[in-house]
Structures are given as C-alpha cells and as structure tokens.
Amino acid sequence: MTALAGLAVLLAVPPIEHFVRQLSYPLRDTAIINRQAAAEHLDPALVAAVIYAESKFDPRTSSAGALGLMQVEPSTARNLARISGGSEFTVADLAHPATNIAYGSFYLRYLLNLYDGNRMLALAAYNAGPTNVDTWLVRDRAAGRSLSVATIPFPQTRAYVSKVEAAAKTYRRYYSKLLGPP
C-alpha cells in the first residue's frame, strides 16, 4: 500500500465510524433535547437514551397508544399538562418533537423527584408506571430487601432500565460535544 493510499484509508475511517454510530445510536433534535434537559435539570444524554430506548428516534405510535419520540401516553400527557399548569393539550401535540420531548423530560424529572433522585426507580416507573414500582417497593421492603434492577419482576422493565443506563453512557461518550455537560 502506498503512503497516499494509506492516508486515504485513514481519512475514510472517521466518516464510516460516524455513519456506524448514527445507525447504532441515532441522535436528532439535539437543540430540543438540550433545552428540555436544561429546563428539567436532566443530563441530555439521559434524555437521548430514553428516546433511544422508547423509539430509536422514530416517532411512531406504540401498540399501547404511546406517541412520539419519548412514547408518552395521552393519559400521562393530560396529567402532566394539569400538574404543570399547562394550557390546552391535544393528543396531536405529542407528534411534534419539541412538545413530546418537553412532556417526556417533564415526566422523567417528575419521576426522579418522586423517587428522591433514584434513576433506576424513575426509569422503571417511566416504563412500567409508578403504581407498579410502588407495589414492588412495598413488596421488597416487606421482604427486608431493596428493589434492584435484578429484582424488578417485569423482564421488559429490567431490560429497559439496563438499556437506558447503557445507552446514556454511550450517548455521553459518542456525543458529548453535541449534548453538552451532564
């Protein structure tokens, strides 16, 4: 291989690496993510990781009726609008990235506050609902143990919490310049 060919290969690697990152861990709407993360005192990498786990940045409707990038259920959004003192809410609003990320980030902050900053509990509640998490906490306290990822009774929720935590680390590593400080 000539020196020129070797240089060409080296120059071609970063775009390929970037392309693979974008396929594996897509990231869009960074300005919205950063703005909402700052407003709710969240790590933008965590918000991106929740979006990744919920929709992989594809704002489709789930089989359960959750909508948008952060897969917010309409009933949850209505409650969040009421709690936050929001004005008129329509389900169609959840199709807009800015609105969806605002509601999802607000809900994530609400859950973190509800569970005294415990990310594992907040993420489990984001996936399975606070009622389930509260039930698991009561059950585990009665049994004299603490709820951990390994003792979450729903396999989907166990996997979800692990997926979000791993994705948050990956988003922080891959996109630290775009996502800003935690």
Residue type, 87: S
Count of structural domains within the chain:
1
pLDDT greater than 60 at residue 11: no
Stronger pLDDT, 60 or 124, i.e. the higher one = 124
pLDDT greater than 70 at residue 23: no
DSSP collapsed to 3 states, 30-62: HHHHHHHHHHCCCCHHHHHHHHHHHHCCCCCCC
Residue 76 maps to which CATH number?
1.10.530.10
Residue 169 domain flag: yes
Residue 20 domain flag: no
Give the per-residue pLDDT at 15: 67
Q: What is the mean pLDDT of the chain?
A: 88
Residue 120: what are its φ and ψ, rounded to 5°? Answer: -60, -45
Active site members? 54
Total Cβ atoms within 10 A of residue 132: 16
Residue 5 domain flag: no
Report field, pTM of the whole predicted structure over 0.75: yes
